[in-house]
């Protein structure tokens, strides 16, 4: 079976090297060349990965050994570079967000499908064992009707100085902490409660005084009365991943001081009980390679990517409309 040659389009995002590592670890893929419009970022990224650079995106897309590309440019550049990759017939694996707007997401998905290009957006926490277990319990009815879901993803990037300052450029990043790290809790809350909340209310804070938020809480309200909370932070030490799903019969928690999934109520009994975790599902990268090889169904990934963008856009719009605490009622 032919090895799939993969080019790195952009070293802007910190996950560029993570995806390159997946390419090298997969037996059916080969890391070929890289490119970034910023020569300094390109030189640093290529040196770290030990790969050659090409002088332009056109050169990378026209490279004889590049069959597919990973996209880790600034989010603002996604629509242009992904569209150009699709039109060059290259399969696309992209960092979230897929594109800055819902309309652009749909256009890219439609264009990829028409061209026979396999397009996958990296939403890795959907396949993580705690997520898989919690979703299975919801589907089984073990929690009753779910009334509340909360997910927090946080790290110390702007406290410890390892997150690049370019993440504070709202125009390039399409926002701050929520448009980047906050995508993970956002799509997980949607996974547990539903893709389309009735209301979205965001509170953003800038502890480090960057031009964008480094601390974010977004509350999702659903038509049935359920409430979801998605939290993200660049200023949390130590970093954190935590989820909480509560229903009319039982609740499950993960990561609140304990790296285990625990349940209480219903069939779990009256005391918190540790629950077995399943194996992780295939990663988005593995899904992508399967789709390139065998045409795996990508509908679920595409739908989740579009709805994630819809939610982030709504949260960013909401963040500017918070009322002052002591403001009189209108």
For the chain, residues with pLDDT lower than 50 are: none
pLDDT for 287: 97
* CATH code for residues 125-281: 3.30.360.10
From-to residues of CATH 3.30.360.10 in the chain: 125-281
What is the predicted pLDDT for the residue at 219?
A: 98
Report field, pTM of the whole predicted structure over 0.75: yes
The predicted structure's pLDDT at residue 106: 98
pLDDT in tens, 87-129: 999 999 999 999 999 999 999 999 999 999 999 999 999 999 9
72 SS3 class? coil
Q: Are 182 and 28 in contact (CB under 8 A)?
A: no
Residues with Cβ within 8 Å of 122's Cβ and at least 6 positions away in sequence, in order, are 15, 19, 93, 94, 95, 96, 284, 285
d(C-alpha 172, C-alpha 150), whole Å: 28
Residues 29-63: b if buried by 16+ CB within 10 A, e if exposed = bebbbbbbeeeebbeebbeebeeebbeebeebbeb
What is the pLDDT at residue 320?
75
CATH class, range 4-121: alpha beta
CATH 3.40.50.720 residue ranges for the chain:
4-121
Q: ∠ CA(163), CA(169), CA(174), 5° rounding?
A: 105
């Amino acid at each position: 079976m032919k090895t799939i040659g993969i080019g790195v389009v952009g070293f802007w995002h910190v996950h560029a090297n993570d995806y390159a590592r997946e390419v090298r670890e997969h037996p059916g893929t080969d890391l070929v060349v890289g490119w970034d419009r910023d020569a300094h970022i390109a030189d640093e990224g290529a040196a770290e990965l030990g790969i050659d650079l090409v002088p332009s995106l056109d050169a990378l897309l026209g490279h004889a050994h590049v069959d597919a590309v990973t996209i880790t440019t600034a989010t603002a550049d996604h629509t242009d570079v992904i569209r150009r990759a699709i039109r060059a017939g290259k399969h696309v694996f992209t960092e979230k967000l897929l594109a800055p707007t819902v309309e652009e997401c749909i256009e890219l998905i439609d264009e990829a499908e028409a061209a026979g290009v396999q397009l996958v957006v990296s939403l890795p926490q959907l396949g993580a064992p705690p997520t898989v277990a919690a979703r299975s319990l919801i589907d089984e009815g073990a929690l009753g009707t779910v009334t509340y879901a909360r997910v927090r993803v946080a790290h110390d990037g702007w406290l410890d100085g390892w997150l690049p300052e370019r993440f504070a450029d709202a125009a390039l990043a399409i926002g701050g902490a929520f448009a980047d790290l906050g995508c993970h809790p956002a799509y997980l809350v949607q996974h547990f409660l539903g893709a389309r909340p009735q209301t979205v209310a965001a509170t953003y804070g800038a502890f480090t005084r960057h031009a964008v938020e480094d601390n974010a809480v977004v509350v999702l309200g659903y038509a049935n009365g359920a409430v979801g909370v998605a939290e993200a932070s660049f200023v949390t030490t130590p970093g954190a991943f935590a989820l909480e799903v509560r229903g009319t019969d039982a609740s499950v928690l993960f990561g609140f001081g304990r790296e285990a999934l625990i349940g209480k109520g219903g069939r779990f009994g009256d005391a918190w009980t540790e629950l077995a975790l399943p194996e992780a599902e295939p990663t988005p990268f593995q899904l992508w390679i399967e789709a390139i090889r065998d045409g795996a169904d990508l509908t679920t990934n595409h739908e989740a990517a579009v709805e994630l963008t819809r939610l982030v856009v709504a949260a960013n719009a909401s963040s500017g409309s918070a009322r002052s605490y002591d403001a009189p009622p209108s």
